[in-house]
Amino acid sequence: MADITIKVLAPADSYDLVTLDELKTMLGISLTNTADDPQLSMWITQYSDVIATMCNRVFAKEKVEETWRGDLPPYDTQNGRVFLTHYPVADEDIESVTGLDGALLDPLSYELENRSGKLQFFGGWSEPLRITYSGGYNLPEETPPGLKQALAIMVGSARTQAAQQLTSGIRSISHRESRVQFFDVNAAMAKMGGSGPIGMAGDTVNALLYKYMRIYV
């Protein structure tokens, strides 16, 4: 595995995957209902970070300088390639690629796959390989729908859990001749061998995030 050093030259303005209005719409909350806005905003920031951590990457577009050393030449000199950590990457967002002693590499000697951030070289190079570029999504406008859905599910589960805690231990409420009986969904699912709404949501979130994960080998 290559050793990668990342210097952030221009951090993103926001790392939130959705806007507050988007989240409220996905959760079926009226935009005019602002009672829970502070908590929802906090959850947006928290779960955006959780998703980025789970996927082992930064989604927000940043300008970075990456230095690659290790399992490069002489092990992969014929088909050398690196996978940039911030992606997608537009061709015009590659500022420079340098090799040993800071010598600039000819742009014709490598090719960029925009969606995955794969930089394919048509020959060898001498490490350290240093790439200066801007990559990622302009959040939250360019956030992929799958990531927005995953965050909405996580926040929805957190809201459900919070509501359950408020009524924990309460089985029924009586007032005069009226009586309201509560149905414990999690308890019922546990009896059937399930994991309740929170656990089922986790499986869906994992399925949504799988394609966005960066795995280093």
pLDDT value at 198 more than 60: no
Number of H helices, E strands in the chain: 5, 9
Compute the CA torsion angle 47, 164, 199, 206 (nearest 10 deg): -20
Torsion of CA 30, 35, 39, 41, to 10 degrees: 50
| Tokens encoding 25 | 């719409």
Which percentage of the chain shows pLDDT scores above 90? 62
- Looking at the predicted structure, is the pLDDT value of residue 38 above 50? yes
Q: Report the candidate in 137, 139, 144, 96 with the shortest Cα–Cα distance to residue 114.
A: 137
3-state SS string for 131-193: EEEEECECCCCCCCHHHHHHHHHHHHHHHHHHHHHHCCCCCEEEECCEEEECCCHHHHHHHCC
CA gap 86, 59 in Å, rounded: 7
For residue 113, what is the enclosing H or E element? strand 110-113
- Mean pLDDT of the residues in the chain: 84
Residue 107, preceding peptide bond in cis (omega within 30° of 0) = no
Residue 68 has pLDDT above 70, yes or no: yes
Q: Is the pLDDT of residue 192 over 70?
A: no
Three-state DSSP class for residue 68: strand
Residue 6: strand, helix, or coil: strand
Tokens 């507050």 sit on residue? 20
Winning range, highest mean pLDDT, from 21-30, 126-135, 170-179, 199-208: 21-30
* Chain CA centroid to CA 105, Å: 32
**What's the pLDDT score for residue 197?**
42
Angle, alpha carbons 130-132-136 (nearest 5°):
125
Distance CA 136, CA 90 (A): 9
> Does 29 score more than 90 pLDDT?
yes
16, 140 contact by CB (below 8 A): yes
